[in-house]
Structure formats: structure tokens, C-alpha cells
Amino acid sequence: MLKDITIGQYYPTGSIIHKLDPRTKLLITFSLIVGLFIINKFIAYGIIIAFILGAMFLSKIPIRYMTKGLKPLMFIIIITFIINVFMTTGEIIYTMGPLNVTREGLSQAIFMALRLILLVVGTSLLTLTTTPIQLTDGIEYMLNPFKKIGVPAHELAMMMTIALRFIPTLLEETDKIMKAQIARGADFESGNILSRAKSLVPLLVPLFISAFRRADDLAMAMEARCYRGGDNRTRMKELKMTSKDSIGIVITALMLVMLLYSRYM
């Protein structure tokens, strides 16, 4: 299950999407998130699905690799679907004892499930097609206007990127610790919720110790290399927009216009 999490991983293919400027990909991802929360019709979801499928095709990342990131979230998606089906009032189409399935509840449940799935797949494309260094530079450029009000743009970008970068590392460490504890007789699957929670203590303690040790090693390595962030820091590769980025922004803008039209017109 832990190996199925794809957030924070980079999948190099040399595609058109990989070669886009990270600022363009950040803008497209933000627009996608905004679009997912303003739509309320199935045709609008069809537009976003077509948009994401097109991006997946251009990125040359296998669909199986993209969709496996949904496995750890299937429980949350199913629970969200069930809650919306039975807790939304409206025209009753089916009765299961004290619970009623309504037409509005079924529609809302499908909307919420699709929203979660598309949100995970769409945001995963950002990290799968962007290296941590590019992502840091892109986030910093996007936060630069907020420096005027005292926002530490470089430091925030660095922290967010390091957090994303170490997600796969911590997952791999968790898997190793879990296998070591199982070999020593630990049981993480049987019993009720309370007993399962108690059985996680032998897993969480060494994981936290390992995480703090890695953070300390990273800080010492950055200090040993005289790392200093801020305005005086130079970059080996400066970000530069191309015609491909302009085309991507125009396509995203058209998608947002279509979504707004489907909602308000």
C-alpha cells in the first residue's frame, strides 16, 4: 500500500509536459484545483477529465502508474461517497431500512468522488513531471510578489519542496521498519481499532527518530556547503518561458472559460 503513493515522486520521460516551465505547471495545477471546486455539472467534469487525460498522454507516464496513487485513498473516497448518498435529502429513489438513497444524494456522491479522484491525479502530474529543484524555483517565482509584505518566498518554497521530496523516502523507511517489526512478531492487522492504534507505536517511534536524524543530516550538509538562500543566490538554469508554455496557458484559460460558462450560463 505504501509503495502505491506517487505524490512527491518524479517520473522522467522527456515529454512535452516535462519540458514546460514549472511556473506554467503550477499555474495550470492551481487553475485545475479552482475549476474542480466551481463546477456543478457532469459535462464540466467531462471537460476536466478530457483535459487531464490529454496531459497524461502528453506526459508519456503510464496510466497504471498514475492511477495506483489512488489505492491508498480508496477508503476515504468510498466513505465520502457513502456519506453523501445517505445524508443528502431530496427525491427518494431507493430505501434501505432507515436509510434513504436520494437522487440528489447520488448525484452529489458521484460529484465528490470524481472531485477527489481528479484532484489527486491532477496534482500528482505536477510532481511526476517536475524535478524538486524546478519546483522550488517555480514556487519561489510565484511567491516573489509577496516579498513586499515580508513573506520569505525562498524559504517557503524550499520547505515545501523538501517536504514533497522526502515523502517517498519516509514511505520507504516506513516500509522497512514495518517489515522489521513484523519479523519480530508485531501484528498490525488483527484486532479492533484501538489495538491496531497501539500496535503502531513500535512503528512510529523509530520513524520519528529516523525523520529527525535525516533532517539533522540535511541541515548539516547544507551548512557544510555554505548554503544561504535569498536574493544573492544564483541558479545554474534560469527559468524561461517558451511558446509551449503560452499554448499551455491558453488551453488552460479556455478550459476555465468553458467551466465558468457551464456553471453560470
Containing domain of residue 189, as a range?
Answer: 155-233
What pLDDT score was predicted for residue 165?
74
What's the pLDDT tens digit per position in 151-203? 777 778 778 778 777 777 787 788 888 888 778 777 767 766 677 667 777 77
- Is 85 among the domain residues? yes
Same domain, 189 and 258: no
Same domain, 113 and 20: yes
Percentage of the chain modeled with pLDDT above 70? 91
Same domain, 64 and 86: yes
Same domain, 186 and 87: no
Tally of domains in the chain: 2
What pLDDT score was predicted for residue 252?
92
- Is 141 among the domain residues? no
> Per-residue confidence at 31, pLDDT binned at 50, 70, 90?
very high
CB 178 within 8 A of CB 156: no
| Nearest-angstrom CA–CA distance, 142 and 161 | 14
- Is 146 among the domain residues? no
- Is 83 among the domain residues? yes
What pLDDT score was predicted for residue 41?
84
**Cα separations (Å) of 88 from 36, 49, 75?**
20, 25, 20
| Nearest-angstrom CA–CA distance, 123 and 121 | 6
Same domain, 123 and 254: yes
What's the pLDDT tens digit per position in 191-241? 666 776 677 777 788 888 888 888 888 889 888 888 776 666 666 677 788
Judged against a pLDDT cut of 60, whether residue 81 lies above it is answered with yes
- Is 149 among the domain residues? no
What pLDDT score was predicted for residue 7?
65
Same domain, 37 and 162: no
Percentage of the chain modeled with pLDDT above 90? 12
- Is 202 among the domain residues? yes
- Is 57 among the domain residues? yes
Same domain, 41 and 15: yes
> Per-residue confidence at 5, pLDDT binned at 50, 70, 90?
low
Q: Check the CA dihedral 192-198-201-202 and report its sign.
A: negative
Category of 8 on φ-ψ map: left (φ > 0), alpha (ψ -120 to 50) or beta: left
What's the pLDDT tens digit per position in 100-121? 788 888 888 888 888 888 888 8
What's the pLDDT tens digit per position in 11-23? 888 889 989 998 9
- Is 16 among the domain residues? yes
Same domain, 121 and 248: yes
Q: Which three cell numbers stand for residue 196?
A: 491496531
Same domain, 107 and 173: no
Same domain, 105 and 184: no
Same domain, 123 and 247: yes
Same domain, 116 and 191: no
